[in-house]
Amino acid sequence: MEVLSFLTSGVLTALEPINLGLILIGVTIGLFIGAMPGLGSVNGVAILLPITFLVPPASAIIFLAAIYYGAMYGGAISSVALGIPGASTAVATTFDGRPLALQGRASLALVTAALASFVGGTVATVFFTLFAPLLATVALNFGPPEIFALMLLAFATFVGLGGDDIPKTVFSICFGLVLATVGFDTISGEPRLVLFDIQGFIRGIGFIVLAIGVYGIGEMLWTIEQTRGEITTTNPKMTAKGLASDAKEAVQRGWKGTWIGSILGFFVGVLPAAGATPGSLMSYGVAKMLSKTPEEYGRGSPDGVAAPEAANNSASTGSMLPMLTLGIPGSPTTAILLGGMVMWGLTPGPRLFIDESEFVWSLIGSFYISNFAAVLINLAFIPLFVWMLRMPFTILAPLIFVLSIVGGFAASRSMHDLWLIVIFGLGAFFLRKFDYPLAPAVLAIVLGPIAEPTLRQSLLLSSGDPSIFFTRPIAGPITVIAIILILLPAIKMLRGKRRVAAD
Amino acid sequence: MTMTKRFFLGLAAGTALATLPMTAFAQDWQPTRPVDFTIMAGAGGGADQIARFVQSVVEANNLTNRPLVPTNRGGGSGAEALLHMNGARDPDHTLMVTLNSFYTTPIRQEGLGIDIETFTPITMMGVDPFVLWVHKDSGITDFEGYLAKVREMNGEYVMGGTGAGQEDSIVIAYMSGVYDLDIKYIPYDGGGAVAKDLAGQQIMATVNNPAEAKGFYEAGDFVPLLAFSDERMEAYPDVPTMKEMGHDFSYYNQRAIVGAPGMSDEAAAYYREVFGKVYDGEEWQSYLVSESLSPLPMDEAETRAYWATQVANHRKLLAEIEG
């Protein structure tokens, strides 16, 4: 098999001392950058890009890809340990990772995240190895109507995410959608909802700003109010034996989420414009929908940690595919990698696999090695991260506050964003008190900026005829499934009422 | 070309000496903290690629004693970057990499209160031409074939671009005007996304920079039909220009480095030297060739005059589109 011989030589290149060294350094840097709230793989890759001029292109991209991978693993750490998403890709990990930590099971959550990330990354790499050129063609068939249908599906899976109170979930989604429309509108070329004429709103409201506000500040206030400071987050004593039993439990209780995340994450990642954040959120929604015990989600389900973590690693590998084969970045981080490739004198695009096959295959080979390195390094650091949780909450709470502020500022270097974080934090605290689910709002601000333009592009294409979502061969079935999923809770509700009436 | 470049550089040095008796001292000015290197566009686009390329050349050759810190401020079609520059607290350490929203955004959004004439010209790195592309499966091989097809489709011919008032929409609007074409225009949020949807034939034609379409062109998927440059492009010698079609129109995306309003002459002289070295370096010169950028070196006075004509041109073009 031709693929196998290419792959073997690729893996051997990745194992050369310089490349192996870069993988280990890159994964470790990525792990810590990912673990810092606010900073994600984008920042890590952008900061270290110029350094890569010192090594050959293949080594350079291996290094940057290793950072990307490491950051995907690292994002889970602060999501679990602090309750603040370490990176936008790890938001869904807080939904169940944080409750697990509060139950004293932080190590289980972290081990689950590490193992799920490993499986996700590896499954995606295998797909990548076998089907790269074919999948690139599939990605091209996704025009605006198909992408909108997919976003509709993502929202549909989330209607059930907020628990049983569907009106409150819908309110939360709408609130997020409104926030997503603030700022410059691509279609009309005009600014929208520049609130109070504050110029900071021209840029729009960043997703990470909302996420840090809601989870960093809002969640912390809520915890303080609930416990009046008498919280014992966890009593973690890490032993090798404990780690092994956690690993066993992670496999038993998280395998289903892992598979869903690995496969779904990859396909969402492959589509240009989507990337790892929507991939992980969608996987969480789908895993919950397919679960036999959906009520466990949001209260500390290992599946709920595994699905988004498997998905974000899988999607980050997937998003390399359109970048390499089409020259189209599938995520902000791959956009910077793309810039790097141009600097090194490579032209990403359909001919890259033919003209630069050695480069491509050493990168693919490095995916396998990076995954091994990342899971081992991550597992080795878990005791350190769990140890952080032994700090009394009176110390941890101010620390989370400081990290939220620093992380929020680091992402955009703007005071405007800091004020927004504080306002969102306070708002989230009160919404939480009134039992409004906030995850759907976070989802909406991620998917809104993808869903809205694709909806309008589609309707421009069809001159305003909505049948375009039903008549195209790929968009049609997706739209129909999404609509059924949206209607399902309503049907259930009606049935429930009828039963009550019958009684 | 080298002659012109030397000439302009000499000219630049000459004017600097003539107008600034303090130049000898100016060399003593050096950044005292990291330099804010604002990018007027989001991550991954043409402007971003260029900014990061320039930054890495500066880094690799150790041209500054303090690092350049690139930050994407692409929000509001560059409005975010312009406001940031306008309110820069330390203009001596604030630079920006531009594209044409440098001209169009202040015109389209007068409420921002931006006057680009207050900005400080540093170095013109080159200008990026635009080309009309179709997919090879469309069977169209020349501009006449394209015109016939658009007319035959009677308003159903779909082109993609980066949105109202953006560079490509200006070109498309001009073209539709002179040939009386009825085109359905779909806005996207970046040139890369536009090229991808042409490759997938979601749209029928685009006006993209060569760098954005290069991969697909080399794979044989894209066919260039018409260049909006002054002369035929070296990379596409068989592609005619709009000027050859008898219409006096050319359009380029400006790739320049500018300083914040109020930057001191000493600091400006320092940065001109740094980016002048980048410009002359082998890395940038080969980048110009591989990405089909045209060199357009000019000094401070020439840049200011160029800005004034560009603003006037854009005001006219935008008025025609929106009027």
Helix residue spans in A291-331 (DSSP H): 302-318, 320-326
pLDDT of residue A229: 55
- pLDDT score, position A408: 77
Q: Is the pLDDT of residue B81 over 50?
A: yes
The verdict on a CB contact (< 8 Å) between B44 and A49 is no
Q: Which of B45, B76, B202 lies closest to A144 in CB terms?
A: B202
The ipTM (two decimal places) reads 0.75
How many domains, in total, are found in chain A? 1
Contact yes or no for A105/A243 (Cβ under 8 A):
no
Given pLDDT bands bounded at 50, 70 and 90, which one contains residue A232? low
Give the pLDDT band (50/70/90) at residue B11.
very low
Closest-approach residue (CA) in chain B for A411: B71
Identify the CA nearest to B178 among candidates B243, B116, B254.
B243
Q: Contact A338/B75, CB-based, under 8 Å?
A: no
Closest by alpha carbon to A243, among A46, A122, A110, A442?
A110
Amino acid identity for residue A323 in this structure = M
B25 versus A94: the higher-pLDDT residue is A94
Specify the fold of B131-227.
Answer: D-Maltodextrin-Binding Protein; domain 2 (3.40.190)
pLDDT at A262 over 70: yes
Q: Which two tokens stand for residue A348?
A: 């990403």
Residue of B nearest to A138 (CA): B200
Query: Under DSSP, is residue B207 helix (H, G, I), strand (E, B) or coil?
Result: strand
In this predicted structure, the answer to whether residue B259 has a pLDDT above a threshold of 90 is yes
Asked whether the predicted pLDDT for residue A6 surpasses 60, the reply is yes
| Span B168-194, average pLDDT | 88
Helix residue ranges per DSSP H, A291-438: 302-318, 320-326, 332-343, 352-355, 357-388, 393-412, 415-433
The tokens describing B248, both together, are 């006096």
Q: Which residues of A touch B164 (CB under 8 A)?
A: 187-190
Q: Checking phi first, is residue A405 left (phi over 0); if not, alpha (psi -120 to 50) or beta? A: alpha
Section B58-69 average pLDDT: 85
- The bridge status of strand B131-135 relative to strand B205-208 is antiparallel
Of the candidate ranges A34-43, A160-169, A472-481, the one whose mean pLDDT is the lowest: A160-169
Least CB-CB distance to A186: which of B59, B73, B189? B189
Asked if B136 is an interface residue toward chain A (Cβ–Cβ < 8 A), one would say: no
What is the average pLDDT score of chain B?
85
- Range of weakest confidence among A311-315, B145-149, B210-214, B270-274: B210-214
Distances in whole angstroms, Cα of residue B230 to Cα of each of A97, A269, A380, B166, B241: 59, 41, 61, 20, 7
Extract the tokens encoding A63.
Answer: 């290094």
Q: Could you tell me the residue range of the domain that residue A171 belongs to?
A: 2-502
Q: How far apart are CA A90 and CA A74, in angstroms?
A: 9
- Shortest CB distance from A186 goes to which of B187, B197, B211? B187
Alpha carbon distance A420, A210 (integer Å):
8
Residue B164 has pLDDT above 80, yes or no: no
A198 Cβ under 8 Å from any chain B Cβ:
no
Task: Say whether A50 and B56 touch across the interface (CB within 8 A).
Answer: yes
Q: Hey, which residues 333-372 in chain A have their CB within 8 Å of chain B?
A: 334-336, 338-340, 342-343, 345, 347-352
Within 262-291 of A, beta carbons closer than 8 Å to B belong to 272-273
Q: Is the pLDDT of residue A455 over 60?
A: yes
Terminal alpha carbon distance of chain B: 40
CA triple A308-A404-A68, angle to 5 deg: 45
- The residue of B53, B162, B322 whose CB has the most chain A CBs within 10 angstroms, and thus the best one to mutate to test that interface, is B53
The answer to whether B272 touches B279, Cβ cutoff 8 Å, is no
**Highest mean pLDDT: which range of A78-92, B101-115, B135-149:** B135-149
CB contact under 8 A, A49 and B56: yes
Cβ(B40)–Cβ(B102) below 8 Å: yes
Is A464 near chain B, with CB under 8 Å? no
CA distance B285 to B297: 12
> Exposed, middle or buried: residue A329 (CB in 10 Å: 0-12, 13-18, 19+)?
buried
Q: Do domains B2-128+252-322 and B131-227 have the same CATH topology?
A: yes
DSSP-derived secondary structure for A241-265:
HHHHHHHHHHHHHHHHHHHHHHHHH
Chain A and chain B share a number of CB contacts under 8 A equal to 152
Are the Cβ atoms of B44 and A186 closer than 8 angstroms? Answer: no
Q: Closest chain A residue to B41 measured between Cα atoms?
A: A203
Separation between Cα atoms, residue B117 and residue B306, nearest integer Å? 11
Does the pLDDT of residue B314 top 50, yes or no? yes
CA distance A342 to chain B (A): 8
- Residue A358 to chain B, least CA–CA distance (Å): 18
Contact list, B109 vs chain A (CB under 8 Å):
191
The pLDDT value recorded for residue A228 is 66
- CA–CA separation, B260 and A23 (whole Å): 39
| Residue B109: band (very low, low, confident or very high) from pLDDT cuts 50, 70, 90 | confident
Chain A residues in contact with B48 (beta carbon < 8 A) = 335-336, 339
| CA dist., res. B214 & res. B286, Å (int) | 16
Pairing of the two strands B157-161 and B183-187: parallel
Going by pLDDT thresholds of 50, 70 and 90, the confidence category of residue B24 is: very low
Interface of B with A in 50-79 (CB under 8 A): 52-53, 55-56, 59-60, 70-71, 73, 75-77, 79
Cβ–Cβ < 8 Å for B120, B264: no
Sheet harboring B205-208: ordered strands across? B183-187, B157-161, B205-208, B131-135, B222-227
Count of helices and strands (H, E) across chain B: 12, 10
Work out the average pLDDT over A356-374: 88
**Residue A89 and residue A44 in contact, taking contact as beta carbons nearer than 8 Å:** no
Please, what CATH class does the domain formed by B2-128+252-322 belong to? alpha beta
Whether pLDDT at B4 is above 60: no
Q: Provide, as residue numbers in chain B, all residues whose Cβ is less than 8 Å from the Cβ of A338.
A: 44, 49
Q: Check CB contact of B195 with chain A, cutoff 8 Å.
A: yes
Q: How confident is the prediction for chain A on average, in pLDDT?
A: 82
Residues 125-164 of A with CB under 8 A from B: 139-144
Q: What is the DSSP letter of B263?
A: -
Alpha carbons A455 and A434: distance in angstroms, whole number? 32
The reply to whether B197 touches chain A by the CB within 8 Å rule is yes
The alpha carbon dihedral of A338, A340, A345, A346 has a sign of: negative
B109 lies within 8 A of chain A by CB? yes
Interchain contact B196–A (C-beta under 8 A): yes
Distance CA A292, CA A301 (A): 12
Nearest 5°: phi and psi at B18?
-65, -45
Cα A249 versus chain centre, distance: 24
B30 touches chain A (CB under 8 A): no
Residues in chain A closer than 8 A to B188 (CB atoms): 186, 453, 457
For B93-176, list the strands marked E by DSSP.
94-97, 120-129, 131-135, 157-161
The per-residue pLDDT for A154 is 80
- Domain range summary for chain B, segments of one domain joined by +: 2-128+252-322, 131-227
- Cβ–Cβ gap A351/B55 under 8 Å: no
Asked if B33 is an interface residue toward chain A (Cβ–Cβ < 8 A), one would say no
Show Cβ contacts of residue B318 under 8 Å, excluding neighbours closer than 6 positions: B104, B107, B108, B165, B170
Which one, of A110, A82, A112, lies nearest residue A391 by Cα? A82
Structure-block tokens of residue A339: 């810039």
pLDDT band for B12, please (50, 70, 90 cuts).
very low
Quick one: which of A26, A8, A17, A109 has its CA closest to A370? A26
Which residue from A minimizes the CA distance to B166? A189
Confidence at residue B112, expressed as pLDDT on a 0 to 100 scale: 82
Residue B277 predicted with pLDDT over 90: yes
Find, among A448, A439, A457, the residue nearest to A181 by Cα: A448
pLDDT at A118 over 90: yes
Does the CB of B153 have a partner CB in chain A at under 8 Å? Answer: no
Q: Choosing among A64, A202, A347, which should be mutated to test the B contact, i.e. which has the most B CBs within 10 A?
A: A202
pLDDT band per the 50, 70, 90 thresholds, residue B203: very high
In the block, residue with structure tokens 């490095």: A366
| A453–B contact, CB cutoff 8 A | yes
Condensed to tens digits (0 to 9), the pLDDT of residues B32-43 reads: 988 999 988 876
Residue numbers in A near B108 (CB within 8 A): 189
Q: Do A199 and B112 touch (CB under 8 A)?
A: yes
A273 interaction partners in chain B (CB closer than 8 Å): 193
Whether A202 sits inside 8 A of B166 (CB atoms) is no
* CB-CB under 8 Å, B56 with A186: no
Whether residue B1 is predicted with pLDDT greater than 50 in this model: the reply is: no
Whether chain B has a CB inside 8 Å of the CB on A441: the answer is: no
pLDDT above 50 for B46: yes
pLDDT at B207 over 90: yes
Q: Closest by alpha carbon to A207, among A444, A489, A28, A486?
A: A444
Contact between residue A321 and residue A330 where contact means Cβ atoms under 8 Å apart: yes
Distance separating alpha carbons of residues A90 and A41, to the nearest angstrom: 11
How many whole angstroms separate alpha carbon B180 and alpha carbon B85? Answer: 40
Which residues of chain A are within 8 Å of residue B52 when distances are taken between CB atoms?
46, 49-50, 336, 339-340, 343
A139 contacts on B by Cβ (under 8 Å): 200
Q: When comparing pLDDT for B60 and A374, which is higher?
A: A374
Rg, chain A, Cα only = 22
Q: For residue A322, which residues of chain B lie inside 8 Å, CB to CB?
A: 196
**pLDDT tens per residue, range B282-309:** 889 988 988 888 888 888 999 999 999 9
Which phi and psi (to 5°) does residue A205 adopt? -100, 120
By CB neighbour count within 10 A (0-12 exposed, 13-18 middle, 19+ buried), where does B115 fall?
Answer: exposed
Q: Do A50 and B55 touch (CB under 8 A)?
A: yes
Q: Which candidate from B43, B59, B108 shows the least CB-CB separation from A332? A: B43
pLDDT exceeds cutoff 60 at A323: yes
- Cβ <8 Å between A338 and B44: yes
Q: Is B214 on the interface with A (CB under 8 A)?
A: yes
Look at residues B152, B162, B245 and name the one whose alpha carbon lies nearest to residue B196.
Answer: B162
Distance from CA of A32 to the nearest CA of B (A): 21
Residue A287's nearest CA partner among A133, A160, A169 is A160
CA distances to A286, A324, A425, B260, B261 from B79, in Å: 39, 31, 27, 14, 15
- Searching chain B, which residue's CA lies closest to the CA of residue A412? B71
| Structure tokens that stand for B180 in this block | 């009386």
